[in-house]
Amino acid sequence: MTIHRLILIFELMKFSTEELIEGIQSGNKRLIAKAITLVESKKAEHRQQAEELLKKIMPFTGKSVRVGITGVPGAGKSTFIENFGRLVISQGKKVAVLAIDPSSAINKGSILGDKTRMEELSKEENAFIRPSPSSGFLGGVANTTFETMMICEAAGYDYILIETVGVGQSEVLVADITDVFLFLKIIGGGDELQGIKRGIMEMVDVIFINKVEESNFQKAKNTRLELKRALDFIPPKEKDWKVPVLLGSALHNQGLQEVFEKIDDFISLKKKNNRFEAVRTQQAEKRFEYWVQEYILSMMKRDNSVEEAYIQHKKNASAMVSNPSTEAKLFVEKFLRDSSFEFPGSENV
Amino acid sequence: MTIHRLILIFELMKFSTEELIEGIQSGNKRLIAKAITLVESKKAEHRQQAEELLKKIMPFTGKSVRVGITGVPGAGKSTFIENFGRLVISQGKKVAVLAIDPSSAINKGSILGDKTRMEELSKEENAFIRPSPSSGFLGGVANTTFETMMICEAAGYDYILIETVGVGQSEVLVADITDVFLFLKIIGGGDELQGIKRGIMEMVDVIFINKVEESNFQKAKNTRLELKRALDFIPPKEKDWKVPVLLGSALHNQGLQEVFEKIDDFISLKKKNNRFEAVRTQQAEKRFEYWVQEYILSMMKRDNSVEEAYIQHKKNASAMVSNPSTEAKLFVEKFLRDSSFEFPGSENV
């Protein structure tokens, strides 16, 4: 265990659940950050405190507008979030910025990166910016952005902006925890649909074509036309909603007010269709299923002999020593036989 | 329990594992079919016999060329398989035809459907046609096409043609168990890429444009051009392989020989690249992971009290009584506490 890691764990341990909750509710950004670090951890002792904390803040969650934001690198996501976030604050709202990164690793330097990227926004009293979770830092890779969002909601943030890094399944993960999905597009070189990640067009609720200037205005309009044509072939995600394709420039604060209004319209429509809460209910069910898997997996990995058995049986399966289903059955038998020990921390919950 | 179901179970029980294996190895189609029904079942007593059977036929599997075939309804998949299958037989090979259907239900009538569809092929001594698995019939929905394929291989079939029904994730399931993936395309009305299911173009190894006649030959060439252009933007799945786009008519036996040769070329290249066995190893690992999940799920569902707990905790999560991760933890604890009973049939394996 490195010194750095020891310090981090020590730091976490310093605060009781009550102190963290008090910090969250009084808007203490340092304690909000600590609480988030806690829920990101997969260590058994942290998970127990994390569950306790989440349970207690539960009644204070759910009030925000949850916005997912995606776009290829270079689409201007950081600049967009910086200026859009400030616009939201100017309407008297509090904004939290999170990032989802299913593939992030230790020491990627994203903390420094995010902080400097959104310099102006981070100075705002009513903004909270959480860098990409450094998964693996405390020994886990579970995706905890949903739980981080709960903490931000309990701290009174009205808009939660969740940025994807565009890697792997990150858009699906974001779509699974947000109310509205925003796609930032830049003007392309002709074939506008080329380069759009598969599935994005089916997920999106609002499209913003960024970096539009006088010089490329005609091209921007062509891009819009092509996107609209593609959208015509995609069944609508929400009844009576036609995905708007907006033009603007995040850098020059152009078109951001329109994005804000369209998000508002979309949320209103969802509520009118009785779909707002219904979708959130479905999302919570998915989160439950996700965590059931996570916990079973963590049980498997926690016990060395179980993990060794997993590796061995998988190896047998891949070497076709016997068929994969037989090896799976042998493994699951062993796992269930050996897992009658106590769940970590269960006695105190 | 219906009479029909009782009869089916009785039919299964009549044969010992040894009789079934003998039947498979002597090419007795009736016993091959019985063995497949056995591995499709998820009943505990059947699964035990199924694992035993699969274990014993293991050394006789793996020798076939595994071909996945997809295409929209109306692309002519049945006619293609009928005439392509006969062509393969004319080269001195034995052909088995399977279908993957992750969504199939009881009494869909697909048995009769498949049989009449491939009338000529089904008369061939060296052909075996297995209709879509009637998942759920014996109480399960597990995808067992891989295990069915093992039985066909042990019975000496050289080519296994696996047709997708194009529903849900069926193409992914097929790609995960085959060596080569064939896409049947019909000539469209201009925008050729529209209507192709997302992800298909990335999966495909050989494309066959079907139903090409003199009257639409120019259109067919345009379709080919558009497909080739789209393929240029997709990173190659296999080093040094350029996905061929072939023209032909399955009904008139045109172009099928070329498909046969391209499949052969592709397999040879994969072997040269040391990727043939490597991909199969990866596939077996995936099957192992799939079955670990299946068995854990079946354990959860087997015990009424566990299933009730699952439903209750999920309901709590969706009603936001407490956060989803807490509910998941409570459920997994209960599951592991209660699952120290014996695995069904484990004592005899």
User: What CATH number is associated with residue B152?
Assistant: 3.40.50.300
Would you say residue A204 has pLDDT above 60? yes
Average pLDDT over residues A187-213: 80
Interface check B10 vs A, CB under 8 A: no
Which residues does residue A97 pair with via DSSP β-bridges, in sequence order? Answer: A129, A161
Mean pLDDT of A221-241: 86
Q: Which residues of B touch A50 (CB under 8 A)?
A: 325
| Residue contact A332–B325, C-beta within 8 A | no
Cβ atoms B160, B144 nearer than 8 A: no
* Predicted local distance difference test score (pLDDT) of residue A112: 38
Question: What is the residue range of B310's domain?
Answer: 303-348
The residues near B225 (Cβ < 8 Å, ≥ 6 apart) are: none
* Residue B188 domain flag: yes
Kindly determine whether residue A339 and residue B336, on different chains, have CB atoms separated by under 8 Å. yes
Least Cα distance to A37 among A112, A139, A114, A118 occurs for: A139
Q: CB distance B324–A295 less than 8 Å?
A: no
CB contact under 8 A, B287 and A317: yes
Structure tokens, A214: 């006088």
pLDDT at A344: 41
Q: Does A295 touch chain B (CB under 8 A)?
A: yes
Asked whether residue A44 is domain-assigned, the answer is: no
More confident of the two residues B204 and A305: B204
Least confident of B50-54, B231-235, B255-259, B270-274: B231-235
- Judge whether residue B124 has pLDDT over 60: yes
Tokens describing residue B324: 């989803």
- What is the rounded distance in angstroms from the CA atom of residue A64 to the CA atom of residue A152? 9
Mean pLDDT of chain A, nearest integer: 82
Which residue of chain A is at minimal alpha-carbon distance from B151? A323
B118 vs B203: CA distance, rounded Å: 26
State whether A240 and A328 are in the same domain: no
- Domain co-membership, A115 together with A250: yes
pLDDT, residue A211, reads 95
Same domain, B200 and B273: yes
Angle at B52 between CA B51 and CA B54, to 5 degrees: 65
Q: Which of chain B's residues have a Cβ under 8 Å away from the Cβ of A47?
A: 329
Q: Which of residues 255-294 of A touch B (CB under 8 A)?
A: 281-282, 284-285, 287-292, 294
A265-276 in b/e burial notation, b at 16+ Cβ within 10 A?
ebbebbeeeebb
Q: Which of helix, strand or coil describes residue B70?
A: strand
What pLDDT band is residue B135 in, cutting at 50, 70 and 90? very low
Is residue A237 less than 8 Å (CB to CB) from chain B? no
Tell me the pLDDT band of A206, cut-offs 50, 70 and 90: very high
pLDDT of residue A159: 98
Tens digits of residue pLDDT in A11-61: 666 789 999 999 999 999 999 999 998 998 877 788 889 989 999 999 999
CA distance B23 to chain A (A): 20
Distance CA A213, CA B241 (A): 42
Same domain, A151 and A244: yes
Nearest CA to A130 out of A256, A39, A203 is that of: A39
Stretch B10-21: mean pLDDT, rounded? Answer: 82
Whether the per-residue pLDDT at B278 is higher than 50: the answer is yes
Q: Do B58 and A322 touch (CB under 8 A)?
A: yes
Residue B118 confidence (pLDDT): 83
Domain for residue A318, yes or no?
yes
HSE-CB at B309 with a 13 A cutoff on CA atoms is 21
* A245-294 tens-digit pLDDT: 999 999 999 999 999 999 999 999 999 999 999 999 999 998 888 888 87
What is the nearest CA distance from A347 to chain B, expressed in angstroms?
A: 11
Rounded-to-integer distance, Cα A299 and Cα B103, Å: 31
Q: Please tell me whether residues B333 and B184 are part of one structural domain.
A: no
Q: Do A320 and B58 touch (CB under 8 A)?
A: yes
The confidence band for A307, taking pLDDT boundaries of 50, 70 and 90, is: confident
**Quick one: which of A165, A166, A244 has its CA closest to A198?**
A166
Each residue of B284-325: pLDDT tens digit?
998 888 888 878 877 776 677 788 888 899 999 888 778 888
B195 and B144 share a domain?
yes
Residues from chain A that touch B339, judged by Cβ atoms under 8 A, are: 336, 339
pLDDT of A133 above 80: no
Q: Is the pLDDT of residue B103 over 70?
A: no
Neighbours of B61 (CB within 10 A): 18
Interface of B with A in 63-122 (CB under 8 A): none
State the distance between the two ends of chain B, measured CA to CA, in whole angstroms. Answer: 28
Using DSSP, state whether B333 is helix, strand or coil. helix
pLDDT of B153: 97
DSSP state of B46: H
Q: Are residues B226 and B330 in the same domain?
A: no
Q: Which of residues 187-216 of B touch A (CB under 8 A)?
A: 194, 198-199, 202
* pLDDT for residue B348 is more than 50: no
Mean pLDDT value across residues A204-212? 96
Residues of B in contact with A314 (CB under 8 A): 285, 288-289
* Residue B273 or B305, more confident: B273
Q: How far is B90 from chain A (nearest CA, A)?
A: 31
Which DSSP state fits B64?
Answer: S
Residue B155 lies inside a defined structural domain of this protein: yes
Minimal C-alpha gap between B320 and chain A (Å): 7
Determine the pLDDT at residue A345. Answer: 39
- Indicate the residue of A198, A324, A333 with minimum beta-carbon distance to B291: A324
H-run or E-run covering A149: helix A145-154
Residues B210 and B311 occupy one common structural domain: no
**Chain B positions in Cβ-Cβ contact with residue A233 (cut-off 8 Å):** 194
* Domain membership flag for residue A316: yes
Question: pLDDT per residue over B44-100, tens digit each?
Answer: 788 889 989 999 999 999 999 999 999 887 888 989 999 999 999 999 999 999 977
Nearest-angstrom CA–CA distance, B55 and A320: 10
In a domain, residue A311? The reply is: yes
Q: pLDDT band at residue B341, thresholds of 50, 70 and 90?
A: very low
Q: Quick one: A131 and A67 in the same domain?
A: yes
Residue with tokens 């600590």: A34
Chain A CB contacts of B290 below 8 Å:
324, 328
Q: Of B318, B328, B349, which has the smallest distance from its Cβ to A292's Cβ?
A: B328
- Residue B338 lies inside a defined structural domain of this protein: yes
The first and second tokens of residue A118, run together, are: 């959104």
Q: Is B349 on the interface with A (CB under 8 A)?
A: yes
B61–chain A Cβ distance below 8 A for any pair? yes
* Residue from the list A150, A289, A340 with its beta carbon closest to the beta carbon of B336: A340
Residue A46 lies inside a defined structural domain of this protein: no
Question: What does the angle CA B230 – CA B235 – CA B236 come to, to the nearest 5 degrees?
Answer: 100
Report pLDDT for B257.
Answer: 98
pLDDT over 90 percentage in chain A? 47
Indicate if the pLDDT at residue B137 is higher than 70: no
Say if residue A154 is in the same domain as residue A275: yes
Q: Which residue of B has its CA nearest to A288?
A: B324
Q: Are residues A158 and A268 in the same domain?
A: yes
- For chain A positions 321-340, those within 8 Å of chain B (CB to CB) are 322-333, 336-337, 339-340
Name the nearest CA neighbour of B32 among B46, B15, B8: B15
Is A284 close to B320, i.e. CB distance below 8 A? yes
Cα angle at B319 between B316 and B321, to 5 degrees?
55
Q: Assign residue B222 a region (left: φ > 0; alpha: ψ between -120 and 50; beta: otherwise).
A: alpha
* pLDDT value at A109 more than 50: no
Q: What is the pLDDT of residue A64?
A: 97
- CA-based nearest residue to A164, from A291, A280, A289, A78: A78
Q: pLDDT band for position B171 (50/70/90)? A: confident
Does A202 score more than 90 pLDDT? no
Mean pLDDT within A89-118? 65
Domain count, chain B: 2
> What ranges in chain B are assigned the alpha helix state H?
3-13, 17-25, 29-40, 44-57, 77-90, 110-117, 119-123, 145-154, 170-175, 200-203, 217-232, 256-272, 276-302, 304-318, 324-338
Residues on chain A touching B194 (C-beta within 8 angstroms): 233
Q: Look at residue A14 in the predicted model and tell me its pLDDT.
A: 77
Give the best-scoring range by mean pLDDT among A158-162, A172-176, A201-205, A324-328: A158-162
Predicted pLDDT at A156? 97
Chain centroid to Cα B145, Å, comes to: 4
Tell me, what's the pLDDT at B166? 63
Q: Are residues B324 and B257 in the same domain?
A: no
